[in-house]
Amino acid sequence: MAEAPPDDCRPLKYSIHKFSTFSSNYVPELKYFRNILEDKPSNQGSRWSSDSNNPPQYLILKLDRPAILRTIKFGKYEKTHVCNIKKFRVYGGLSDENMILLLESGLKNDTVPETFLVKYTVAGHQFPVRFVKIVPLQSWGSTFNFSIWHVALGGFDEWTMVQKCINWYTTYREREAIRLCLKHFRQHNYTEAFESLEKRTRVTLEDPRLTRLHKMLVDQGDFDGCEQLIGEAAEEGLFQQYIRQQEYKPQWTPIIPNPGGSSGPPPRPGMRGGHQMCIDTNTQTIYLFGGWDGMQDLSDLWSYHISSQEWTCITRDTHAEGGPSARSCHKMCLDPERRQIFTLGRYLDSALRIPDNLKSDFYMYDIENNKWTQVTEDTASLGGPKLIFDHQMVMDVEKRIIYVFGGRVLTPSRWEGCVGGLGLDELRTNNYTPSEAIFSGLYAYHVSTNTWTKLRDDCSGNSTGPQDIKSRIGHSMLFHSGSRQLFILAGQRIKEYLTDFFMYNIDTDTVTYISDGTRKDSSSVPAAGFTQKATIDPHLNQIHVLSGLSKDKDKRDENVRNSFWVYDISQNKWSCIYRNEQTGESYWSKMQHVEPCPRFAHQLVYDDVNKVHYLFGGNPGKASLPKMRLDDFWSLRLCRPSTQQLYQTCVLLIRKHRFSELARENSVMALKYLQTRLHSAVDHSDPQQVQEFQALATTLFQPQDDTSVGYVQAFPDDDSSSTPTTTDLGWRHTARSMLFDQLTQFFPEHMTQPRGNLVDLIPY
Amino acid sequence: MAEAPPDDCRPLKYSIHKFSTFSSNYVPELKYFRNILEDKPSNQGSRWSSDSNNPPQYLILKLDRPAILRTIKFGKYEKTHVCNIKKFRVYGGLSDENMILLLESGLKNDTVPETFLVKYTVAGHQFPVRFVKIVPLQSWGSTFNFSIWHVALGGFDEWTMVQKCINWYTTYREREAIRLCLKHFRQHNYTEAFESLEKRTRVTLEDPRLTRLHKMLVDQGDFDGCEQLIGEAAEEGLFQQYIRQQEYKPQWTPIIPNPGGSSGPPPRPGMRGGHQMCIDTNTQTIYLFGGWDGMQDLSDLWSYHISSQEWTCITRDTHAEGGPSARSCHKMCLDPERRQIFTLGRYLDSALRIPDNLKSDFYMYDIENNKWTQVTEDTASLGGPKLIFDHQMVMDVEKRIIYVFGGRVLTPSRWEGCVGGLGLDELRTNNYTPSEAIFSGLYAYHVSTNTWTKLRDDCSGNSTGPQDIKSRIGHSMLFHSGSRQLFILAGQRIKEYLTDFFMYNIDTDTVTYISDGTRKDSSSVPAAGFTQKATIDPHLNQIHVLSGLSKDKDKRDENVRNSFWVYDISQNKWSCIYRNEQTGESYWSKMQHVEPCPRFAHQLVYDDVNKVHYLFGGNPGKASLPKMRLDDFWSLRLCRPSTQQLYQTCVLLIRKHRFSELARENSVMALKYLQTRLHSAVDHSDPQQVQEFQALATTLFQPQDDTSVGYVQAFPDDDSSSTPTTTDLGWRHTARSMLFDQLTQFFPEHMTQPRGNLVDLIPY
């Protein structure tokens, strides 16, 4: 997914400008050495080495000529080396004192040179650098010095083009400096200075609409006019950028079934783990089948109708109706157009793994006609997968093809009794994947022709070509109907937790790795080893991952983490929506109506039309109650503010401020305003807003406290002393300016004055 | 030397505001924990622990009320711990986004809580903080997480006082912001904006004299007026602050004896190491006695007269004249008022260490009368030291007391032959300090009463009370006649290189440690293990340390370093004047008239009146020529610019600029100016100035290149396009402004406009 360097990048010559420290002979460039300018992987001495890894360490290179820097390449030694840099930053600038961050990354500890693309634009334009500063932060051998073997810089230094960039950049920075001054002068009421500067430089501080807002609000006090302007802005969609930047807030809601009539509580699915759910968004129905209740496999089929919040038991025993026998660790997928459900795979206790039982039976359920059909007695006999469990199955509804990937193949037991297979959705026996475990590959099933095709075998062994796929269990696989890609994430093999993430294009049969899992920054992607359930939203282009309890009993007490992540496919960016690291029974029993406790072997489905997730049951992994399973049912919504909510927020801010001005002038009018216009702006269903509203009333009857005003006017206009004062006019100007800042935060950045403040930039 | 916290410091309450990461249960403050607010050294869980030591890690505390923060105390665990913080920074501010650095330090890895004073003033005033950010940089176990066990904050939070500070601070920052704007506007010729802002805020940009200089230079082009103003400033001493901030440049000069007449080269001391020199600054004479020439001890006494640059051999054999026998590793000191030289101690080969030879003979030489006297046959019999070598001896001339400290006591040999004593100034036998080596303590000798007093015994063992002194060899001891303190630095015991540095007050008999050597930042103090020679300047309050070759053959090939350091006693600050890490014979033979090669067993004396050091001879430690000694003689001056030099620099800058203006207007006049006024401003003995002068002449006949102008005018006054241009007026204003910046760099900071630039503060 990385951007390729431009083809016509040229090597840029440089010399060593400065360095923090160096060890003995490992100086970057003495008269007698050309260490890092040259790439000599076999020469142990050909490097810059700091004298320790105590911060700050740095190396500053000076380009022979100013240039647009595009790439930086680090050479390596011919063997791995403890001094290689695991984490570093690169800065660049026209002077060695003012630099901006161009790159933050790290090197692999191997022998392969690595090239990186660096930041080279600001505000949409290319900017030139003369100095490049490399700051090592961590070495691979954590107590060792840093070494840089070789650096090559690439970019463009053709002078006419670079000169244009320098000119643009100078003008850009000057303009930004002037804008900061204008903002400052306006805030502090240095009116004449503001006007002189604006006229002389002709720099625009902000979008004219916001200048109009400022005049209306700060100069004229036309509050109604402000509300109207903001309403128009909201309607134009100007708040969208702000909304998109807000974090999602997770909202879990337990779904309590409607209380029954006199016939007692209505039927609902019993506690289980290793079951399957799928959702038909067209009919807003969730289907649930099978599982393990702690004692035995189940074969009941249920449907849940979302709007009526009712469960219906379709079949108590599918087997009796020509459907699959009781099972768990099976997989299910749904075709919403033809209204068919398919199920494949199941787990077998080792005692039952005799060849006759090891047929991979494949069923289809016709929803319309409530009819089960055994499609195939053994898919393996048709070239499909053998009997597997803990695989993944998804459907390309448009082409009517089902994809099955991974899972472990059930083979005839070699031993009786205690040594069982690894039941990943069911912790029933000693969990054990024998070293000769076979993992199933990637298959496609054409429904219409009832044909199985094997697309990929498990590539075993260490050398993986870029088109090879490692099979696995406990992974997630999702189908993106728009781009027609399968997304495959994580999972495990024998004692090995995988952290890779790749796409398989079903039309071109190509594999593309999004992350090979080697450069893992543990805080910015979901952690490996925890049961994850994933869903996809092909419209918003997002993948959601819910991580929970580790299947591995040994790992379970460590890092138990309920966390929810969103992966933005277009931006290739993971965001953590929330992370709950709480452990302990008392905590989770308090939370039982607030958030589902950590678990595995549960099911998560996603309504991509209404943007709601549903979760049912699973195994809470209680060491004291190993047979206990859950039967709770939850919905999850990820919430962001809406345009209307933001508009209401602005109105409330404006009216609260209006109230505070009235309170200083005329308590009676203020009280009336509070009871009418301010009252109508409050959302009385929000307890916090109500509480604040009530507090405001009491302030009418208290002395004013001006120390609460956020910033103090250092040089007020009244020509009195030069100490800060809070005259009424001064207070009003300041308070209205603060309100202006609050209102404009919802507008897009390209429209507003700079967010920063001049005073905050002063160093000490 | 650390400042004590103010007595009336109050504990400041705080809560946890933010933290970067945390490990499991080690959260700073959950509802259920009050971890770092409480000091529970026995509770392993009572701490904040980051989840790793990957940067950035931080912990932000929020004070209950804004306060002047004075102290921060870190509690510890009851045992040493790998997670203790070895290096950290503390920031503070009124908001959690704008903070300034208050402290950079580290904790000892022990069980003792440590309290630190923090920065609390800016521009001479106290400033308040609300947020305190602790940033761990290194832990003691380098791969481990950071842990903070307990933090207590102390300071003053009385509201009236703090509010005054907030007001002052707000006004201060506002003023600094305005000054940056004024500087920027003036540079860019935004005249009206400049005047409006200045009038409205009444902020002063700079000292009125510099405003006058600016007007004369930039507005009026009155260059002669500028030269005069600068001349007056120089005479007033306004350049002193700049001069004091300049680094010393070392200037070594080999002293080649005057060539003799027809009688051949004049006599001069032969090659030797382990000799002694002392200097009589009154008579500008250096005395040199004894030493080892590679084959035998010497007993010649020489004097060197500095101004005539002549050596005189006073005595070829002092022993023949009633003085000391041939010796080396003795110590000598001089009383310039009574014109007496004293010498004590010497080294004896192990074969010669029979009790009869082990008398500590003590001699005095009367310079006036050229007469040697044996003061005592054996100082030990009078309560003084036994026979020692590699000790230190200095004199309090005012009270006529000699101080002797350290050195190794020569004891009767227990073995014959190969196992000898440790001859530190003479590498003659196997260097070996037997584990039962005895080190001599601190003694005072009253010359007038011929009385010895022992002030301190060697404190052996590990537990040292604060008033105990560890004896040692190879150390330096200096007497500060002003403060009447002995300064003792470094040295070694048995296989242990000491890095401490302490003072002994001879009047109060108290020891004060300047550095106990434990928190050693290797790049900011002279390294241990290298022979250092030290001198003192009691007027400038400085100690000079010249480090050279390691005595230890094993260490010698590693870090050979010729380095010269200056310790500023009042500021408690070490500065490295230079460091030469070159090794190799070819390099040093090229340098033989430029800088003395690394050596040990040499001698260094200091003329504190003329500020010149002198160095003679020593052992270059050539493994191939173990008997070789040196006889080279050097002077060392540390140079800084003088007021007159700075004035000349300014005049040259002004005239060069004048020339460049003329060159654009009238080549003939420019040439004439070059030949007359500019020519007279050049120092024709300085080859670089001459070269630049000659280059200027050629520019008259080349086209102008405006890309050399440092900054580009983004918004020129000519109302043409908004791209940067370089009109003549614009160029002149810019070039004159740059000259103004160059000239004002020599003025004290409190007089000039801010050094920073508005544009450089813009973040990205």
Q: What is the pLDDT of residue A443?
A: 97
- Which residues of chain B neighbour A711 with C-beta distances below 8 Å? 170
Instruction: Please state the ipTM of this predicted complex.
Output: 0.71
Query: Nearest CA of chain B to the CA of A273: how many Å?
Result: 28
Quick one: average pLDDT of B163-167?
93
- Which residues of chain B neighbour A749 with C-beta distances below 8 Å? none
Quote the CA–CA distance of B640 and B245 in Å, as a whole number.
Answer: 9
Q: Which residue has the tokens 């509480």?
A: A691
* Nearest chain A residue to B173, by CA: A759
Question: B-contacting residues of A 494-533, CB under 8 Å?
Answer: 522-523
- DSSP H or E run through A562: strand A562-568
pLDDT tens profile A307-345: 888 999 999 999 999 999 999 999 999 999 999 999 999
Of B97, B177, B581, the CB nearest to A758: B177
What HEC string does A275-324 produce? CEEEEECCCCEEEEEEEECCCCEEEEEEEEECCCCEEEEEECCHHHHCCC
* Nearest chain A residue to B98, by CA: A760
Query: Nearest CA of chain A to the CA of B26: how many Å?
Result: 12
B7 part of contact set with chain A, CB < 8 Å: no
Quote the CA–CA distance of B587 and B589 in Å, as a whole number.
Answer: 6
Question: B-contacting residues of A 53-72, CB under 8 Å?
Answer: 54-55
- Candidates A493, A310, A712; CA nearest to B164 is A712
Instruction: Give the CA dihedral A13, A18, A21, A27, nearest 10 degrees.
Output: 40
Q: What is the pLDDT of residue A288?
A: 97
Q: What is the pLDDT of residue A548?
A: 77
Q: How far is CA B551 from CA B420, B581, B587, B595, in A?
A: 16, 17, 21, 20
- Hey, are the CB atoms on A193 and B190 less than 8 Å from each other? no
Query: Nearest CA of chain A to the CA of B345: how many Å?
Result: 38
Q: What is the pLDDT of residue A262?
A: 61
Quick one: average pLDDT of B95-109?
89
Instruction: Give the CA dihedral A553, A557, A559, A563, nearest 10 degrees.
Output: 80
Task: For A416, list phi and psi in degrees, rounded to 5.
Answer: -90, 160
Q: How far is CA A651 from CA A662, A673, A693, A736, in A?
A: 16, 14, 14, 14
**Are A84 and A49 in contact, with CB atoms under 8 Å apart?**
no
**Are A141 and A716 in contact, with CB atoms under 8 Å apart?**
no
Q: Which two tokens stand for residue B525?
A: 């103090």
- Which residues of chain B neighbour A523 with C-beta distances below 8 Å? 21, 51
**Are B391 and B404 in contact, with CB atoms under 8 Å apart?**
yes
Amino acid (one-letter) located at B304:
Y
Amino acid (one-letter) located at A739:
L
Per-residue confidence at B1, pLDDT binned at 50, 70, 90? very low
- Which residues of chain A neighbour B166 with C-beta distances below 8 Å? 712
A707 part of contact set with chain B, CB < 8 Å: yes
**Is residue B243 over pLDDT 50?**
yes
**Is residue B715 over pLDDT 70?**
no
CA-based end-to-end distance of chain B: 42
Q: Going edge to edge, which strands form the sheet with B310-315? A: B276-280, B285-292, B297-305, B310-315
**Whole-number CA gyration radius for chain A:** 32
Quote the CA–CA distance of B627 and B336 in Å, as a whole number.
Answer: 35
* Nearest chain B residue to A762, by CA: B177
B321 part of contact set with chain A, CB < 8 Å: no
**Are A402 and A413 in contact, with CB atoms under 8 Å apart?**
no
CA-based end-to-end distance of chain A: 42
- Which residues of chain A neighbour B180 with C-beta distances below 8 Å? 758, 762
- Which residues of chain B neighbour A170 with C-beta distances below 8 Å? 711-712, 714, 724
- Hey, are the CB atoms on B712 and A167 less than 8 Å from each other? yes
> Which residues of chain A fall short of a pLDDT of 70?
1-4, 21-35, 43-47, 49-55, 142-144, 258-265, 414-435, 461-464, 516-530, 550-561, 583, 703-727, 764
B555 part of contact set with chain A, CB < 8 Å: no
- Hey, are the CB atoms on B21 and A184 less than 8 Å from each other? no
Q: Which two tokens stand for residue B345?
A: 């101690």
Q: What is the pLDDT of residue A418?
A: 34
Query: Nearest CA of chain A to the CA of B335: how many Å?
Result: 44
* Nearest chain B residue to A581, by CA: B24
B245 part of contact set with chain A, CB < 8 Å: no
- Hey, are the CB atoms on A196 and B201 less than 8 Å from each other? no
Quote the CA–CA distance of B287 and B311 in Å, as a whole number.
Answer: 10
- Which residues of chain B neighbour A197 with C-beta distances below 8 Å? 185, 190, 193, 197
Q: Which two tokens stand for residue A216?
A: 């209306």
**Extended strands (E) in A4-81:** 10-12, 14-19, 48-49, 59-75
Query: Nearest CA of chain A to the CA of B623: how many Å?
Result: 21
Q: Which two tokens stand for residue B580?
A: 């030469």
Within B495-634, residue ranges assigned H as helices are 553-556, 585-590
Q: What is the pLDDT of residue A146?
A: 78
**Is residue B738 over pLDDT 80?**
yes
Quick one: average pLDDT of B739-756?
94
**Are A656 and A271 in contact, with CB atoms under 8 Å apart?**
no
Query: Nearest CA of chain B to the CA of A192: how many Å?
Result: 6
Q: Which residues of B531-540 are buried (b: 16+ CB within 10 A; e: fewer)?
A: bbbbbbbbee
Q: Which two tokens stand for residue A159?
A: 């002078």
**Is residue B42 over pLDDT 90?**
no
- Candidates A198, A80, A102, A197; CA nearest to A155 is A102
- Hey, are the CB atoms on A181 and B522 less than 8 Å from each other? no
Give bridge partners of residue A486 from the DSSP assignment: A479, A504
Comparing A505 with B496, which gets the higher pLDDT? Answer: A505
Quote the CA–CA distance of B647 and B232 in Å, as a whole number.
Answer: 10
Q: Residue A23, class by beta-carbon neighbours within 10 Å (0-12 exposed, 13-18 middle, 19+ buried)? A: middle
Amino acid (one-letter) located at A485:
Q
- Candidates B289, B439, B304; CA nearest to B364 is B289
- Hey, are the CB atoms on B764 and A100 less than 8 Å from each other? yes
Amino acid (one-letter) located at A484:
R
Beta pairing class for B59-75 and B129-139 = antiparallel
Q: Which two tokens stand for residue B395?
A: 């004199």
Among left, alpha and beta (phi > 0; psi -120 to 50; other), residue B264 is: left
Quote the CA–CA distance of B743 and B649 in Å, as a whole number.
Answer: 9
A225-A228-A233 Cα angle (round to 5): 125
Instruction: Give the CA dihedral B123, B129, B134, B135, nearest 10 degrees.
Output: -50
A185 part of contact set with chain B, CB < 8 Å: yes
Q: What percent of chain B has pLDDT over 70?
A: 83
- Hey, are the CB atoms on B196 and A175 less than 8 Å from each other? no
Task: Tell whether pTM > 0.90.
Answer: no
- Which residues of chain B neighbour A30 with C-beta distances below 8 Å? none
Q: Which two tokens stand for residue B665?
A: 């207007």
Q: Helices A191-201 and B191-201 meet at what angle, rounded to 10?
A: 170
pLDDT tens profile B296-318: 999 999 999 998 889 999 999 99
Residues 6+ apart with CB under 8 A from B94: B66, B128, B129, B130, B131, B166, B169
Quote the CA–CA distance of B101 and A544 in Å, as a whole number.
Answer: 41
Q: What is the pLDDT of residue B292?
A: 95
Q: What is the pLDDT of residue B360?
A: 95
Q: What is the pLDDT of residue A520?
A: 46
Q: How many CB pairs under 8 A join A and B?
A: 145
Quote the CA–CA distance of A622 and B363 in Å, as a whole number.
Answer: 90
- Hey, are the CB atoms on B756 and A764 less than 8 Å from each other? no
Quote the CA–CA distance of A452 and A186 in Å, as a whole number.
Answer: 72
**Are B727 and B182 in contact, with CB atoms under 8 Å apart?**
no
pLDDT tens profile B10-37: 999 998 888 776 554 444 443 333 567 7
Per-residue confidence at B141, pLDDT binned at 50, 70, 90? confident
Query: Nearest CA of chain B to the CA of A95: how many Å?
Result: 10
Comparing B370 with B710, which gets the higher pLDDT? Answer: B370
Instruction: Give the CA dihedral B269, B272, B276, B277, nearest 10 degrees.
Output: 40
